[in-house]
Amino acid sequence: MQNTTFALRGNIFYTPAPGSLAVHPESWLVCEEGRVAGVFSSLPGRYAGVEVQDHSGKLILPGLVDLHAHASQYAYRGLGMDLELLQWLEQNAFPEEANFARAGYARQAYALFTRQLTASATTRACIFATLHRPATLLLMEQLEAAGLCCFVGKVNMDRNSPDILREESAASALAETRRWLEESRRFARSRPILTPRFIPSCSDGLMAGLGELQREYGVPAQSHLSENLSEIAWVKELCPGTDFYGQAYSRFGLFGGACPTVMAHCVWSGEAERALMKQNGVFIAHCPQSNMNVSSGIAPVKSYLLEGQKVGLGSDVAGGAHLSIFRAMTDAIQCSKLRWRLVDQGVPALTLPEALYMATKGGGEFFGKVGSFEPGYEFDAVVMDDAALPTTRACSLPERLERIVYLSDGAPCAKYVQGRRLF
Ligand code: GUN
Ligand code: FE
């Protein structure tokens, strides 16, 4: 964090609540000690003389949040998209993730991922690495050096996984996880998050041990939940004593409440699961492109927003082929229109401000006061230039935002995290 005060000048957008878009034409966004001091239509006298970084004519947005991505799957994004989830995992995810046993491969693959994430509009992410402790630390090191602020998980998996990608026993998995938690203490911006892959790949002994580590270290947790019908049927078989999928996590204390938790997908969550998510403040990472690619379904995201769930967006690379959270916004809106048309005409489609809310403040809440330009929020900002998207039409500011979301490659021309300018 920098001990400096400065201001950005430009067209400023943020979403204080789902569906409410704040637009400040050619205004000043002031940063004080890494936090937002305010948005002003003219620079207040007390800031006279502070450095003003001039982005006039461009759009300034809160940094985007990717609430669910697999850094270890980036290399095969866009491949194997004819398969459904469980086959896709076996044929693509597991063989690729096995490569991360080799430090040389991991260094190269994670450097590529880190470069692409840095160049994107994403400032915060919740990331799965692989089960390999040294490779996971390499990823944390690279993200930290890039200036990004991420939760990174060493994946746990000790059953129903191939020999090339399975931890030997619950005991050895837990010992490696503890060692990784200790070794992660050296990072400031890369923070550890417990990462049982999903229920089918984690034994009860492993889950119980992770619950104990959670309570000892006070770290958050991430996993997958109610993603795909064949996966859900499998969990039912594996956990006969549970009433719904989420219970398979909650019985080990890994489902919100005292353990901040983000669950990817929640495409098929039923009433009881939703009630427990709401009660425990579990974050939902909505990953619409992945849900389409591996034929999972259309999550009822608008209903989640309406019922007051905590919802953000995820790329789920490489279930999703694209790292851009602008792309996730358009996918979320388009999916919700299909849901309205094909499933439930009682629930309207998502709007652009709702999608921006999920991409910023909705997911940002998992990181604290993140994802908005309200005073006191951590200063994460991206500057988007729509000059490369020519049109003969004179667009209003909300229209220009819409064109950035739907048309741009997602790359900002300037990026700030916690008040530090990355480029
Ligand atoms: N469920 C368990 N592992 C995975 C994964 O890597 N990707 C997705 N989309 N779902 C999963
Ligand atoms: Fe995933």
Pick the CATH number of 64-367 from 2.40.50.140, 3.20.20.140, 2.60.130.10, 3.40.250.10: 3.20.20.140
Structure token pair of residue 387 = 């000059």
Q: Is the CB of 154 under 6 A from ligand 1?
A: no
Minimal CA–CA distance to 305: which of 11, 17, 59?
17
Q: Is the CB of 93 under 6 A from ligand 1?
A: yes
Q: Is the CB of 381 under 6 A from ligand 1?
A: no
* Average of per-residue pLDDT values in the chain: 97
Angle at 373 between CA 21 and CA 354, to 5 degrees: 30
Mean pLDDT of 376-404: 97
Distance of alpha carbon 364 from alpha carbon 370, whole angstroms: 5
Q: Per-residue pLDDT tens for 193-216? A: 999 999 999 999 999 999 999 999
Ligand 1 pocket test: pick from 66, 67, 68, 70 the residue with the most ligand atoms within 8 Å of its Cβ: 70
Q: Per-residue pLDDT tens for 74-111? A: 999 999 999 999 999 999 999 999 999 999 999 999 99
Gap from CA of 27 to ligand 2 centroid (Å): 38
Distance of alpha carbon 295 from alpha carbon 223, whole angstroms: 19
Q: Is the CB of 94 under 6 A from ligand 1?
A: no
Ligand 1 pocket test: pick from 224, 234, 245, 266 the residue with the most ligand atoms within 8 Å of its Cβ: 224
Q: Give the model's confidence band at 190: pLDDT under 50 very low, under 70 low, under 90 confident, else very high.
A: very high
Q: Give the model's confidence band at 3: pLDDT under 50 very low, under 70 low, under 90 confident, else very high.
A: low
Q: Is the CB of 131 under 6 A from ligand 1?
A: no
- Region(s) of the chain under CATH 3.20.20.140: 64-367
Q: Per-residue pLDDT tens for 60-73? A: 999 999 999 999 99
**Topology given in CATH for the domain delimited by 5-63+373-421:** Urease, subunit C; domain 1 (2.30.40)
Closest atom of ligand 1 to 128 CA is 6
pTM of the predicted protein model:
0.98
Q: Is the CB of 245 under 6 A from ligand 1?
A: no
Q: Is the CB of 319 under 6 A from ligand 1?
A: yes
Q: Is the CB of 290 under 6 A from ligand 1?
A: yes
Closest atom of ligand 1 to 93 CA is 6
Whole-angstrom CA distances from 134 to 104, 129, 140, 179, 318 are 11, 10, 10, 10, 22
Q: Per-residue pLDDT tens for 258-276? A: 999 999 999 999 999 999 9
Gap from CA of 410 to ligand 2 centroid (Å): 21
CA 268 from centre of chain: 20
Gap from CA of 350 to ligand 2 centroid (Å): 22
Contacts of 140 (CB under 8 A, 6+ apart): 150, 152, 184, 187, 190, 192
Q: Is the CB of 225 under 6 A from ligand 1?
A: no
Minimal CA–CA distance to 314: which of 299, 300, 326, 325?
325
- Region(s) of the chain under CATH 2.30.40.10: 5-63+373-421
Alpha carbon nearest to ligand 1 atom 9, residue: 319
Ligand that lies nearest to the alpha carbon of residue 197, given by its number in the listed order: 1
Gap from CA of 30 to ligand 2 centroid (Å): 36
Gap from CA of 190 to ligand 2 centroid (Å): 19
Minimal CA–CA distance to 228: which of 333, 325, 340, 316?
316
